[in-house]
Structure 1
Amino acid sequence: MYNKFDYPELLISERKATNINSMVRLFRPKQWIKNIFVFLALLFSGNIIELSHVVNSCIGLILFCLISSSVYILNDLLDINADRIHPIKKFRPLASGAVSKVQALVLLIILCPISLVLSFWFNYNFAAVISVYFILNVLYTIKLKKIVIVDIMVISTGFVLRVISGYIVINEEISLWILLCIFFLTMFLGLNKRKQEIHTLNSNAKEHRKILNEYSVELINQILPIVASCSIIFYSFYTFQVSKNIWMVLTIPSVIYGMLRYQYLSLKSNVGENPEIVLVNDIPFIVNFVLLVFIAITIKFIKALPFAFS
């Protein structure tokens, strides 16, 4: 049995592999799942089987993954000291020292321009949206995240921009009701995240995020029912007034269940700080989401109905 310490070349190879893995984690690929909001336009437009629309939506998704990773790297560079006192974020590549500041800066300088150039090459209107997204997140990282309530609204606006970009790449008319629904839905997620951060950090909350000093569990618990209700109401307006088929009302129960299930898991399993965990690990939530997509697609294919609501 050989000892790897007797073979310096093996140690060098291991270190390189570890460093590459850390750089990949710096992109936060697990959070790319947030960019599936680009596909909402494809789902609700009823053109989900049109190949050109699917391809354009996939390209939009990839470009949003690249630009969002640029934002994550920038955020980690600026928040490195705060992340080091967080029980979970201290293991991030920069906070843990697995990736140096110079390496992260080089990646940012390469990744961000590539994302923007490819976006302009793909679609000018899409590029405009993705540029606004990047600028908004830079402002968020520097200043806006320090303003109570505004910080959550900025995050929600980022998701709205994802949805808008999805409509742009398939050249479909944008639904205001869907945008309002997404805005309040993501505010719901963001507030749950703030509440979980308060629970997780306890007395260190202010040191990690000064803005957490402005929040309280009581305040968040009062706001959550408002934003959750707004999200459901605006989605219902969409199904009644904008969707091309009244049978879209059948998707409302799935939307309500998804929000209630997420709220349940936030309280029961403390997953509020990482919404992506719910999206990929909770079986009932995944089944409900698949059912929602199935119902929406099936309804779009129904050409003739035995009767209609007046």
Structure 2
Amino acid sequence: MADTRNSQHPLFVDLDGTLIYSDLLIESFLELIKRHFLCLFLVPIWLLRGKAYLKDQIASRVDVRVDLLPYHNEFLAYLREQKSQGRELILISASNHRLVQAVATHLGVFDQAFGSDDKVNLSGTRKLAKIRELHPNFTYAGDDTIDLQVWKEADAAITVNAAEKLQRQVAAITTIEREFVARGRGLRPYLKAMRLHQWLKNTLVFLPLALAHQLDNPELIWQAAVAFVCFGLCASSVYILNDLLDLPSDRQHRSKCRRPFAAGDLPLLHGLLISPLLLIVAFAIALTLPTAFVIILALYYLCTGLYSFVLKRIMLVDVIMLAALYTLRIISGAAAISVVPSFWLLAFSMFLFFSLAVVKRYTELDYLRGAGIAQSEGRGYYSQDLSMMAMFGCASAFLSVMVFALYINNDDTRNQYVTPEILWLICPLLLYMITRIWLLAARGQIEEDPIVFALKDRVSQAVTLTCGAMLWLANIDWRAVLL
């Protein structure tokens, strides 16, 4: 229950985990490696001179968008109410003073703001000493066990996002003025961060198995299934890393702002730990498959790393890389079962997935244009590029169908299928599915990854199943059946 007897004491407010659902040290570190990757190798050297020096060096090299941070809105509303009643509010944090001051300036509710400099890390007893230097009687708002060192000397406490055990510890040493209950977390946000629904994309590893007519081979099916799991874990590792590096742009996106790390539903530190863990597990499992698959999986991760740090900010190169990453899934599926993928299949894949990757950028630019935003955050595109992107995407889509038509007419294909003429029925189906996706994108009816949309959309599912049926029917000798 709230206690208001000490409500006129100056209120000192912690920042990380209290006022915001994030950690500014990690936020600034992620921004550093995204903007100045080579500085990553300087971090251990800075840390040798102390945590305060590390924070100062990072903060001096990056700009954190404090206006986009995930603030605790209920607590912030309480602070505004206290400010309106004349209470003195002071922001005090172990984060670097540049970032603390930026947050205070942005919010406009604090009378003073203090943070760590290049020599003093303002946490624990150092924070307490600073507070007592300013006011002998005070109330303190915090969220972590290290704040107990401050609370034991405080006249009152405000707990924010505190666990039940910490709540009991605080109640035992001081009066609790107000409690702000922690968000329920559970397993769901972790699974959401892994984007398990995106694993559907990895079903491409089964495509070489189907086209090699080996769907009745249990051993090869098992190998393809293991490859699917490896790619899923590796991809989840990449998704988490991307989410950590894309925090500012995701927070400005209409749907990506709800991702666990961007919304503050998960600690950023957990992401930094989970991402490499998933990668290690993926490669440990991959060692049971042919060496060629392990090499391709490593190449896939290397390419995604280049995409995350550099290539996604270069116009057109980003969508070419996305198409290549989808094609690598097909190549890896072939490597897992030790078959050589068809040139036609790889060419078809590049054109098709280039088109779908452009759809993704098209929908983002369409949203930006509607919102009156000139340039995409962290991307190399402008809203006026919309018509050209549509042209590129549609041309590539039609080229993919043309490549498939050439594949059907290829001598190897005609020898591989008993009735290859049936495959021609797939061409109009592909044309319908791809042009429909583009029409829906132009109407603003696709707000997610077009690959995921195609996998969840009933019409696209029906077209895909029909195409699969055509491949199966092409293996039947219809002349013998009919005659």
- The verdict on a shared fold, with TM-score over 0.5 as the criterion, is yes
- How far apart are residue 64 of structure 1 and its match? 0.7
SS at match of 2:254: coil
- Residue 192 (structure 1) aligns with: 359
Structure 1 residues 82 and 159, CA, compared in 2 at 3 Å: closer, same or farther? same
Match status 1:95 vs 2:270: no
Alignment of 1:116-135 (within 5 A): 116-135=283-302
Q: 1:209 aligns with which of 357, 366, 378?
A: 378
For normalisation by structure 1, the TM-score amounts to 0.88
Q: 2:365, 2:383 within 8 Å by CA — same for their partners in 1?
A: no
Q: Aligned partner of 2:405: which letter?
A: S
Residue identity in the other structure for 2:401: I
Equivalent runs, 1:62-101 vs 2, <5 Å: 62-101=229-268
Mapped to 2, the partners of 1:210 and 1:275 lie a distance apart of: 18
Match of 1:5 in 2: none
Unmatched 5+ stretches in structure 2: 1-163, 166-180
Displacement of 1:44 after TM fit? Answer: 1.5
- Cα RMSD between the aligned structures? 2.4
- Offset of residue 233 of structure 1: 1.3
The structure showing larger relative contact order (alpha-carbon pairs under 8 Å, at least 6 residues apart) is 1
Per the alignment, residue 387 of structure 2 pairs with 218
Q: Deviations over 1:124-181 (max 9, x none)?
A: 1111111100000000111111111111000000011000011112222210111011
| Residue in structure 2 matched with residue 108 of structure 1 by the alignment | 275
Say which SS state the counterpart of residue 121 (structure 1) adopts: coil
**CA, structure 1 residues 272+97, in 2 after alignment: closer, same or farther (shift >3 Å)?**
closer
| Inter-partner Cα distance in structure 2 for 1:78 and 1:139 | 12
- CA offsets per residue over residues 201-223 of structure 1, 9 Å max, x none? 33346353331238711211221
Structure number with greater Rg is 2
Partner of 2:308: 141
Q: Give the Cα separation in 2 of the matches to 1:271 and 1:256.
A: 18
Matching of residue 236 in structure 1 with residue 411 in structure 2: no
Question: What is the alpha-carbon distance in structure 2 between the residues aligned to residue 135 and residue 106 of structure 1?
Answer: 19
Q: Does 1:153 align with 2:320?
A: yes
Q: Distance in 2 between matches of 1:97 and 1:45?
A: 46
TM-fit CA distance, 1:17: 6.6
Contact 1:19 1:98 in 2 (8 A): no
Looking at structure 1, the residues matched to 383 and 324 of structure 2 have their Cα atoms a distance apart, in angstroms, of: 21
CA contact (8 A) 1:189 1:272 kept: no
Higher helix proportion, which one?
A: 1
Q: Deviations over 1:63-93 (max 9, x none)?
A: 1111001110110111112211111111100
Cα displacement string for residues 26-48 of structure 1 (whole angstroms, at most 9, x for unaligned residues): 10112111111112112222222
Q: Relative to total residues, which structure has the larger strand share, 1 or 2? A: 2
After TM superposition, give the deviation of residue 51 of structure 1 in Å: 1.7
What code does the residue aligned with 1:261 have? Answer: R
Deviations 1:107-138 (A, max 9, x none): 01211111122212322111111110000000
1:287 shift after superposition = 1.1
- Find the aligned partners of 2:221 and 2:227 in 1 and give their Cα distance: 10
Alignment pair present for 1:285 and 2:460: yes
Residue-pair matches, total:
296
Percent of aligned positions that are identical: 24
How has the CA–CA distance of structure 1 residues 285 and 177 changed in structure 2, closer, same or farther, with 3 Å as cutoff? same
Question: Which range is displaced more, 216-225 or 103-112?
Answer: 216-225
> What residue is the counterpart of 1:295 in the other structure?
470
Q: Corresponding residue for 2:424?
A: 249
More displaced 10-residue stretch of structure 1: 154-163 or 244-253? 244-253
Q: Whole-Å Cα distance in 2 between the matches of residues 25 and 272 of structure 1?
A: 17
Superposed displacement of residue 283, structure 1? 2.0
Look up the match of 2:62. Answer: none
1:19 Cα offset (Å): 3.5
2: CA distance, partners of 1:207 / 1:217: 12
Q: Give, as a single letter, the amino acid of the residue that structure 2 aligns with 1:231.
A: S
Return closer, same or farther for 1:225/1:164 CA change in 2, 3 Å cut-off.
same
In the alignment, residue 237 of structure 2 is paired with which amino acid?
S
CA distance in 2, matches of 1:177, 1:279: 22
TM, length-normalised to structure 2: 0.58
Which moved further from structure 2: 149-158 or 261-270? 261-270
Q: Give the Å deviation of 1:298.
A: 2.7
**Is residue 173 from structure 1 mapped to residue 340 from structure 2 by the alignment?**
yes
- Tell which deviates more after alignment, 197-206 or 228-237: 197-206
